[in-house]
Amino acid sequence: MRMIEFDRVSKAYHLGAGQTSLREALARQAQRLIGRRTAAHERQLFWALNEVSFQVEQGEILGIIGHNGAGKSTILKLLSRVTFPTSGRIVTRGRMAALIELGAGFHPDLSGRENIYLNGSIMGLKKREIDAQFANIVEFAGLEQFIDTPVKRYSSGMYVRLAFAVAAHVRADLILVDEVLSVGDAAFQQRCLTKMHELHRDGATIVFISHNLWSVSTFCSRALLLRAGQIQAEGHPTEVIQIYRQQDREAALSRLRDQVAEGEPFEPAHDQEGVTPVVKSELLNAEGRPEQAFGPDEALILRITYVAPQPIEAPAFVVQIQRADGVICCFIKSSANDIRHGVYGEGNVVLRIDPLQLVPDMYSIEVRLEDRRRALIYAADSGNIFHVKGYLQGAEAGGVFQPRVMWSHQSHQVDSAWHTPA
pLDDT digits (tens, 9 = 90+) for 33-42: 666 555 544 4
What does residue 409 show for φ and ψ, rounded to 5 degrees?
A: -145, 130
Cα 183 to Cα 181: distance, rounded to the nearest angstrom = 6
Q: Read off the pLDDT band of 396 (50, 70, 90).
A: very low
Mean pLDDT: which of 81-85, 227-231, 243-247, 374-378 is highest?
227-231
Over range 182-203, report the average pLDDT: 76
The whole-angstrom separation of Cα 99 and Cα 244 is 25
The answer to whether residues 203 and 275 belong to one domain is no
Helix H or strand E segment including 79: helix 72-79
Identify whether residues 242 and 313 lie together within a single domain. Answer: no
User: If residue 322 lies in a helix (H) or strand (E), which one and from where to where?
Assistant: strand 315-323
User: Which tens digit of pLDDT belongs to each residue from 98-123?
Assistant: 776 665 667 888 998 998 888 888 77
Among candidate residues 247, 280, 305, the one where a domain is terminated: 247
- Helix (H) or strand (E) segment spanning residue 206: strand 205-209
Q: Is the pLDDT of residue 416 over 60?
A: no
Say if strands 174-178 and 205-209 run parallel, antiparallel, or are unpaired: parallel
Q: Could you tell me if 128 and 205 lie in one domain?
A: yes
Could you tell me how far CA 257 lies from the centroid of its own chain? 21
214 or 85, higher pLDDT: 85
Mean pLDDT, residues 233-258 taken together: 78
Task: Provide the pLDDT confidence category of residue 349 given band limits of 50, 70 and 90.
Answer: very high
| In a shared domain, residues 232 and 288 | no
**Is there a domain that residue 393 lies in?**
no
- Per-residue pLDDT for 24 more than 70? no
Within this chain, do residues 299 and 150 fall inside the same structural domain, yes or no?
no
Query: Order of strands, edge to edge, in the sheet holding 343-353?
Result: 278-284, 300-312, 343-353
Structural domain containing residue 129: 59-247
Please state, in angstroms and rounded to a whole number, the distance separating the CA atoms of residues 237 and 272: 60
Do 185 and 94 lie in one domain? The reply is: yes
Q: List the beta bridge partners of residue 4.
A: 56, 92
Class of residue 305 by CB neighbours under 10 A (exposed 0-12, middle 13-18, buried 19+): middle
The predicted model gives 147-170 an average pLDDT of 83
User: Mean pLDDT over residues 49-70, rounded?
Assistant: 91
In a domain, 12, yes or no: no
Q: Looking at residue 21, what is its pLDDT? A: 54
Model confidence at 277, pLDDT cuts 50, 70, 90, reads: confident
Hey, is 201 helix, strand or coil? Answer: helix
- The whole-angstrom separation of Cα 194 and Cα 135 is 18
Q: Are residues 111 and 193 in the same domain?
A: yes
Question: Count of domains in the chain?
Answer: 2
Residue 19 lies in a domain: no
309 within a domain of the structure (yes/no): yes
Residue 132 lies in a domain: yes
Cα 8 from Cα 316, distance rounded (Å): 61
The Cα angle at residue 88 between residues 84 and 91, in degrees rounded to 5? 75
**196 with 334, same domain?**
no
What is the CATH classification number for the domain harbouring 101? 3.40.50.300
What is the distance, to the nearest Å, from the Cα of residue 232 to the centroid of all Cα atoms in its chain? 16
Q: Categorize the per-residue pLDDT at 322 as very low, low, confident or very high, splitting at 50, 70 and 90.
A: confident
Residue 411 resides in a domain: no
3-state secondary structure of 287: coil
**Of the spans 8-17, 263-272, 311-320, which averages the highest pLDDT?**
311-320
Instruction: Please say if the pLDDT value at position 83 is more than 60.
Output: yes
Whether residue 94 is found in the same domain as residue 144: yes
Q: What is the mean pLDDT of residues 222-247?
A: 89
300 found inside a domain: yes
Pair 125, 219 in one domain? yes
Q: How far, in Å, CA of 196 to CA of 339, rounded?
A: 60
